[in-house]
Amino acid sequence: MIQPEKFVEVLEENGIGFYTGVPDSFLHSFCSYLQQTKGEKENIIAANEGNAVAIAAGYYLSEQKVPLVYMQNSGIGNAINPLVSLVDKSVYGIPMVLLVGWRGEPGIGDHEQHMVQGKTTKAMFETVGIPVAVLEDNEETMTEVTASVVEKAVREKRAVALIVKKGVFTGVKKKITDTSYPMSREDAIRIILETLPKDTIYTATTGRATRELYIVREERGESHECDFLNVGSMGHASSVALGIALSHADRKVVCLDGDGAAIMHMGAFAIIGEKPVPNLLHIVLNNGAHESVGGQPSAGRSVDFAKVAEGCGYEKAVRVATSEELKRALTEMRADRQALFIEVRIRAGMRDTLGPLKASLKEDIKKLMEELKERK
């Protein structure tokens, strides 16, 4: 395995001194090392991967030095537009290194949502003219490959992708200990299920929220036909909820969102606020962290999500931080016929026994569609 500090040392020997991106589980020790050692102007955790590419471009224009953008391969789609219409050598010719965690690599087991992305990762870059190199678990070749990637980016004034295989970097995800707020995400989900009508439809954001909604349902002896587990497509759970709510005005539809996911595609707030969706309740469970990929901070604790929601046209928006406040807000909003929003400030962390999601995605989505069809 490669120590992240050694990798950063090699990067900086080759002229890299600025980092921006979205944290990834395969890169978690690298991202954590940056968070611990770099100043707030040297490492920017971006809203999404396209945002990171644009920040990196601005850095290069200002400093004439090559930046590094880190991401999971699931974020390539977000990055493609600025890569081909801003960074590409046919446009402005801005050099940068893309460090990409390779989820779903062919021949390596992974969850369903990563398989297509993993199979097409190299091809996606190559199709738009971005050269690709692979970082293997070998310190000697790491030095050579890294130097070659940076040199190519500089010489050809283009982005070059360095794809990281599973297990390349040393380090184990540390258990998160957070006492900033009394409620955990699981606590909040339990209260929400207990308080809202039994036939409420839920969409849950990718990461821990999907797993915890699933396991809480199991422990309560409840089925899953009212739940959509948005295991991929980070930032889009609220838009799925909007699509359902528009067609089912008789059902309460709740989005269990995360702070990082909400920030990633915050434009969804404006569309929800503009549309007549009196049955939609948007809940952001804000722990201020990208918890499922290593616990790196998001900008969540700097954002007043309730004010954002109000500004985008939600009829009522509140922030809560205790179980009593959450129960009160849910009770007051239970029968309201207007677009509603709750930001729930929670502590980071999860139970030790929370394993991978065991849901059958295709079976569960079939049950949800049958439930929605019956009640239409």
The model's pTM: 0.94
Residue of 138, 281, 84 whose CA lies nearest to 196: 281
Q: What is the pLDDT of residues 250-268, one digit of tens each?
A: 899 999 999 999 999 999 9
**203 and 127 share one domain:** no
**146 and 237 share one domain:** no
**201 and 155 share one domain:** no
Eight-class DSSP state of 27: T
Structure-token match 């849910």, residue found: 330
Residue 375 has pLDDT above 80, yes or no: no
Final residue before a domain boundary, out of 164, 198, 227: 164
**283 and 254 share one domain:** yes
| Domain contains 171 | no
In this predicted structure, what is the pLDDT of residue 177? Answer: 66
Q: What is the CATH number of the domain that holds 144?
A: 3.40.50.970
Structure-token match 């804000």, residue found: 286
| Domain contains 257 | yes
Residue 319 has pLDDT above 80, yes or no: yes
Residue 99: Cβ within 10 Å count: 25
Residue 111 has pLDDT above 90, yes or no: no
Query: What angle do helix axes 323-333 and 185-195 make, rounded to 10 degrees?
Result: 30
At residue 115 the predicted structure's pLDDT band, cuts being 50, 70 and 90, is confident
In this predicted structure, what is the pLDDT of residue 27? Answer: 96
Distance CA(166)–CA(205), nearest Å, equals: 24
The domain total for the chain is 2
Decide: helix, strand or coil at residue 192: helix
| Domain contains 134 | yes
| Domain contains 370 | yes
Residue 172 has pLDDT above 70, yes or no: no
Phi/psi for 180 (5° steps) reads -65, -30
In this predicted structure, what is the pLDDT of residue 175? Answer: 63
| Domain contains 310 | yes
In this predicted structure, what is the pLDDT of residue 214? Answer: 94
Task: Round the average pLDDT of the chain to a whole number and report it.
Answer: 94
**361 and 215 share one domain:** yes
Domain of residue 91 covers: 4-164
CB 350, CB 186: distance < 8 Å: yes
**238 and 268 share one domain:** yes
Residue 173 has pLDDT above 70, yes or no: no
**225 and 368 share one domain:** yes
Q: Which of 71-75, 204-208, 262-266 has the lowest mean pLDDT?
A: 204-208
In this predicted structure, what is the pLDDT of residue 217? Answer: 95
**142 and 271 share one domain:** no
State the average pLDDT over residues 272-290: 94
Q: What is the pLDDT of residues 134-160, one digit of tens each?
A: 999 998 899 999 999 999 999 999 999
Distance CA(44)–CA(51), nearest Å, equals: 10
Please report, to the nearest 10 degrees, the dihedral formed by the alpha carbons of residues 159, 236, 353, 4 taken in order.
10
In this predicted structure, what is the pLDDT of residue 110? Answer: 81
At residue 109 the predicted structure's pLDDT band, cuts being 50, 70 and 90, is confident
**297 and 336 share one domain:** yes
**120 and 252 share one domain:** no
Please report, to the nearest 10 degrees, the dihedral formed by the alpha carbons of residues 317, 320, 326, 328 taken in order.
-70
| Domain contains 22 | yes
Eight-class DSSP state of 354: -
Q: Which two tokens stand for residue 130?
A: 């971005």
| Domain contains 72 | yes
